[in-house]
Amino acid sequence: MNDVAARNRRNKRRGADWEAEIRDRLREARVDIERLRLVGKDDEGDHVVRWDDGRHLVIEAKNAAFEPGAFIKEAVRERDNFALHRGLEPKDVDVIVIVRRRGASWRRAYVLTTVEEYFDLPPEAA
């Protein structure tokens, strides 16, 4: 049991370090980025970028095994929470996942989104 708990603590620390690295490096690049706080089941993502045009970009940062479908699903849900808590329309808040790339600098991390999100397409009919 101790090995599992220790591994979980290490993984959580690595994730927190990754989130901090993204925030700090983007700030150095003069991006207006802030850390979002955990809100339990209503989590809003890890960071928000405020663009000069008033739009927001919610960022979910991942330092884990590559699972793009699960990552995007989580990020979209968190973007929706962010928008809801601020009285914004979800379509007016962009969302991406930044996934750490093993052995590469933060600038070479992967950025994930969907075609629908990227091109601001209306949802498909079910």
Task: Please tell me the distance from the alpha carbon of residue 107 to that of residue 66, in angstroms, as a whole number.
Answer: 17
Task: Please tell me the distance from the alpha carbon of residue 53 to that of residue 116, in angstroms, as a whole number.
Answer: 21
Range list of H helices, the chain: 2-28, 68-86, 115-118
CA neighbor of 15 nearest in space, from 35, 41, 32, 39: 35
Looking at residues 55-73, what average pLDDT do you find? 96
Split at pLDDT 50, 70, 90, the class of 6 is confident
Average pLDDT of every residue of the chain: 92
Looking at residues 16-21, what average pLDDT do you find? 94
Q: What is the pTM of this model?
A: 0.90
Domains and CATH numbers, the chain: 2-118 (3.40.1350)
At 95-111, the pLDDT tens digits run: 999 999 999 999 999 99
Which of these ranges, 8-12, 46-50, 52-56, 68-72, has the smallest mean pLDDT? 8-12
Split at pLDDT 50, 70, 90, the class of 126 is low
- C-alpha distances (whole Å) from 81 to each of 24, 26, 98 are 24, 23, 19
